[in-house]
Structure 1
Amino acid sequence: MIVSLCILIILASIYIYFFPFIPKRKKHYTYALLLGCPAHNDGTMSSSQIKRCHLAIDTYKKGLYDTLIISGSNVKNEYVEAQVMHDYIQKQIYIPTILEANARNTFENFKFSKEYIQKQDVVILTSQTHAKRACAIARQFFDDYGCVWYKDHKPKHIVREIGSRLIYIKIELLKKVGKY
């Protein structure tokens, strides 16, 4: 019993270390970073893409940010995530936008968007399941960031995110010992 409790406390501590609390959101940011996700193989938008686009539109209408950066390459098929999402948003409302079309994963979303954001503040726009890991990566690139998400309780997204978080922890541990 005590050993199990100690193991649980150690695992919880590791988790909190790698995935700290999401910073409190400010009232306004210079940039919003909309994290991409793939379109379907026929080019139609996935439900996650549509939800993220609506999140970008809604937060812009509320005055949360000035300029939207949409990040994502053509990871799963020929359709560039940033372009597909940009086209959808611009049909709904004009938002000043920068497309970052080279990122192939969440780490690269931040790495390549840093060129535009530099030292400015940024709010990350993503799904609820992705927000914690996205913020853990964001803290490596930005001093002043926040996050807004839409609710996402799809089991396949939760399972995929658990795997992604384990991979993230592995990579971060390898970095600490100089093997990555």
Structure 2
Amino acid sequence: MIVSLCILIILACIYIYFFPFIPKRKKHYTYALLLGCPAHDDGTMSSSQIKRCNLAIQMYEQNLYDTLIISGSNVKNEYIEAQVMHDYIQNKVNIPTILETKARNTFENFKYSKEIIQNQDVLILTSQTHAKRACAIGKQFFLDYGCAWFKDLKPKHILREIVSRILYIKIEILKKLGRY
């Protein structure tokens, strides 16, 4: 019983170390970073893309940021995530937008967007299941960031995120050991 409790405490500490609390959101940011996700193979938008885009529109209408950066390449098919999401948003509202089209994963979303954002503040826009890992990665690139998300409790998204968080912890440990 005590051994199990100790293991549980150690695992909780590891989790908190790699996934710190999401910082409190400010009232306004210079940039918002909309993290991409793939379109369907026929080019139609996935439900996650639509929800992320609607979140970006909502946050803009609440005057939470000035310029939107949409990040994402053509990871799963020929359709560039950032372009598909940009077209959807611009058909609804005119938001100042910059497209980042090289990123193939969450780490690269931040890596390539950092080149644009530099040392400015940024609001990360994503799903609820993805927000914790996105902020953990965002913390490596930005000093002043916040996060907004939409509710996303689909079992397949939760399962995928659990696997992604385990891989993230593995990569971060390997980086600290100089093996990545």
TM range (shorter): over 0.9
The residue aligned with 1:58 is 58
Q: CA deviation at 1:35?
A: 0.1
The residue aligned with 1:136 is 136
d(CA) in 2 for partners of 1:139 and 1:153? 24
d(CA) in 2 for partners of 1:53 and 1:135? 18
Please list the CA deviations of residues 13-66 of structure 1 after superposition, one character each: whole Å capped at 9, or x if unmatched.
000000000000000000000000000000000000000000000000000000
Does residue 22 of structure 2 align to residue 29 of structure 1?
no
Q: CA deviation at 1:11?
A: 0.2
Matched residue SS, 2:25 = coil
Q: CA deviation at 1:68?
A: 0.1
1:103-142 equivalent positions in 2, closer than 5 A: 103-142=103-142
Matched residue SS, 1:156 = helix
Matched residue SS, 1:6 = helix
Please list the CA deviations of residues 90-126 of structure 1 after superposition, one character each: whole Å capped at 9, or x if unmatched.
0000000000000000000000000110000000000
d(CA) in 2 for partners of 1:140 and 1:62? 27
- Gap regions ≥5 residues in structure 2: none
Structure 1 residue runs of 4 or more that deviate by more than 2 Å after TM superposition? none
d(CA) in 1 for partners of 2:79 and 2:135? 26
RMSD: 0.2
Please list the CA deviations of residues 108-165 of structure 1 after superposition, one character each: whole Å capped at 9, or x if unmatched.
0000000110000000000000000000000000000000000000000000000000
Does residue 101 of structure 2 align to residue 101 of structure 1?
yes
d(CA) in 1 for partners of 2:78 and 2:87? 16
Q: TM-score, normalised by structure 2?
A: 1.00
d(CA) in 2 for partners of 1:146 and 1:129? 16
d(CA) in 1 for partners of 2:19 and 2:117? 23
* Total equivalences in the alignment: 180
The residue aligned with 2:156 is 156
- Gap regions ≥5 residues in structure 1: none
Percent identical residues? 82
The residue aligned with 1:71 is 71
Does residue 10 of structure 2 align to residue 44 of structure 1?
no
d(CA) in 2 for partners of 1:116 and 1:99? 10
Counterpart residue identity of residue 7, structure 1 = I
Q: TM-score, normalised by structure 1?
A: 1.00
Matched residue SS, 2:108 = helix
